[in-house]
Amino acid sequence: MLAGKRILLVIGGGIAAYKSLLLIRLLKTAGAAVTPVLTRAGAEFVTPLSVAALAGEKVHEALFDLTDEAEMGHIQLSRVADLLIVAPATADLMAKLATGRAEDLASTLLLATDTPVLMAPAMNVRMWDHPATRRNLAVLQADGVRFVGPEDGEMACGEFGPGRMAEPETILAAIDAALADGPLKGRHVLVTSGPTHEPIDPVRYIANRSSGAQGTAIAAALRDLGAQVTFVTGPATVPPPAGVQVVRVETAREMLAAVEAALPADAAVMTAAVADWRVANQNGQKMKKDGSGKAPALEFAENPDILASVSKGPTRPRLVIGFAAETEQVVDHATAKRVRKGCDWIVANDVSPATGIMGGTENAVVLISAAGAEAWPRMAKDQVAKKLADRIALALQNS
């Protein structure tokens, strides 16, 4: 996929800039040509000499470089690449692009290009969670900018949480996906996956047996068809796929907020096994036995209906697909659910313990639509994902 491709790599300021050197090596090994652009802040962490040595090309740093402007110019530089990558993408660089500021070479290139842009954010967890950064993220995603990461982990500052730049191998997979010429190129698809955890007290929670394997496989299959995938996942037991925008959540209410922030999208595939109920009287301290032999009384409140909210909301995707995990009357229950939720398709399966599907590697589904029920044979979950992704691509092409 990368052989013969030209990548324009903008290296922002941050300790994660050292990963950009590893990324350059991976890109070169894959056959891509890398044109590096180093910001003033980026040069505080990696040197122009090290970047140039690995890229095998001149490092561009200044907007008003007389030689560059005479020979190529920042406009031409921004348009000769097949893909622009910003790694690390700092909060400052995201803000500049989101608000249309062009005050240095990097920001000017990003505004002057009509080439696809992929950003790998890296910043302190509080900066990533700040409302201003979240607003800028939403604006950029709506403008078609792709994102990979950030990942959870320990920060250089000692804090822990989302904000670590994705690993170079993960960014490379995202580059492959961004350059893919599949039928979903240019489409944004939202995928939810995994269970939700609804806390009882600080150490206990209500959950289900969903592994997130099917949702992960679907996200990967959509990515392979060229889609820009936003992957909102609960605490699944399988890792998320590379090359997609991962948003991690715990509870149903957090998942709803993440889903709403990810819209608009061309399609939504709601595979997550969202808890229907949460504990209304959640205890702030660990609940202990008192010797009476009586279990504590738990009061429950209904969780938001994420699938119905998306299907009936003001930013409804063109295609909304729900999932129904049933233990009896699979087709009847799923057919009624499709009408009740207002979605286009329901992918239903029997998760009775005897099937081994819940948490297993295979699935047997029935695709429910307005046209009726279509039973698929039992197959590996990645095969189910590929078949569903192909159907999604066909539906979006014909809509």
Rounded to the nearest integer, the mean pLDDT of the chain is 88
**Exposed, middle or buried by CB within 10 Å (0-12, 13-18, 19+), for 139?**
middle
Query: What mean pLDDT do residues 66-86 have?
Result: 70
Based on the residue annotation, tell me whether 157 is a catalytic residue of this protein.
Answer: yes
Could you tell me if 189 and 127 lie in one domain? Answer: no
Could you tell me if 49 and 169 lie in one domain? Answer: yes
| Total domain count, the chain | 2
Residue where a domain stops, chosen among 163, 179, 195 = 179
Query: What mean pLDDT do residues 107-135 have?
Result: 89
Query: What mean pLDDT do residues 17-32 have?
Result: 93
Q: Is the pLDDT of residue 346 over 90?
A: yes
Query: What mean pLDDT do residues 380-393 have?
Result: 92
Per-residue pLDDT band for 158 (boundaries 50, 70, 90) equals confident
* Strands 345-350 and 372-375, bridge-based pairing: unpaired
- Say whether 143 sits in a helix, a strand or coil: coil
Query: What mean pLDDT do residues 373-387 have?
Result: 91
Could you tell me if 170 and 211 lie in one domain? Answer: no
Looking at residue 369, what is its pLDDT? 93
Looking at residue 45, what is its pLDDT? 92
Could you tell me if 162 and 199 lie in one domain? Answer: no
188-222 pLDDT, tens per residue?
A: 999 999 999 999 999 899 888 888 899 999 999 99
Q: What domain range is 95 assigned to?
A: 1-179
Q: Is the pLDDT of residue 357 over 60?
A: yes
Enumerate helices (H) and strands (E) in the chain, giving the number of each.
14, 21
Looking at residue 67, what is its pLDDT? 55
Q: Is the pLDDT of residue 352 over 80?
A: no
Could you tell me if 170 and 208 lie in one domain? Answer: no
Residue 321 · residue 267 · CB < 8 Å: yes
Domain containing 131 — which CATH number? 3.40.50.1950
Could you tell me if 151 and 286 lie in one domain? Answer: no
Could you tell me if 172 and 224 lie in one domain? Answer: no
**DSSP secondary structure letters along 263-285:** ---SEEEE--B--SEEETT--SS
Per-residue pLDDT band for 64 (boundaries 50, 70, 90) equals low
Q: Which of 377, 349, 393, 388 is nearest to 218 (CA)?
A: 388
Looking at residue 313, what is its pLDDT? 92
Could you tell me if 228 and 136 lie in one domain? Answer: no
Residue 52 · residue 74 · CB < 8 Å: no
Looking at residue 98, what is its pLDDT? 92
Q: Where are the alpha helices (DSSP H) in the chain?
A: 17-29, 48-55, 66-71, 73-77, 91-99, 105-112, 125-129, 131-142, 168-179, 213-224, 252-262, 306-312, 330-341, 381-398
Residue 119 · residue 140 · CB < 8 Å: yes
Query: What mean pLDDT do residues 182-187 have?
Result: 86
130-149 pLDDT, tens per residue?
A: 999 988 988 888 787 888 88
Query: What mean pLDDT do residues 271-289 have?
Result: 89
| Residue given tokens 């490092």 in the structure block | 59
Looking at residue 65, what is its pLDDT? 62
Could you tell me if 156 and 233 lie in one domain? Answer: no
Could you tell me if 23 and 91 lie in one domain? Answer: yes
Domain containing 254 — which CATH number? 3.40.50.10300
Q: How far apart are CA 148 and CA 167, in angstroms?
A: 10
Per-residue pLDDT band for 245 (boundaries 50, 70, 90) equals confident
Annotated binding site for CTP: 276, 286, 304-307, 323, 337, 341
The residue from 157, 203, 301, 339 that is catalytic is: 157
Residue where a domain stops, chosen among 179, 197, 229 = 179
Residue where a domain stops, chosen among 179, 205, 234 = 179
How far is C-alpha 147 from the geometric centre of its chain's CA atoms?
7
Could you tell me if 258 and 367 lie in one domain? Answer: yes
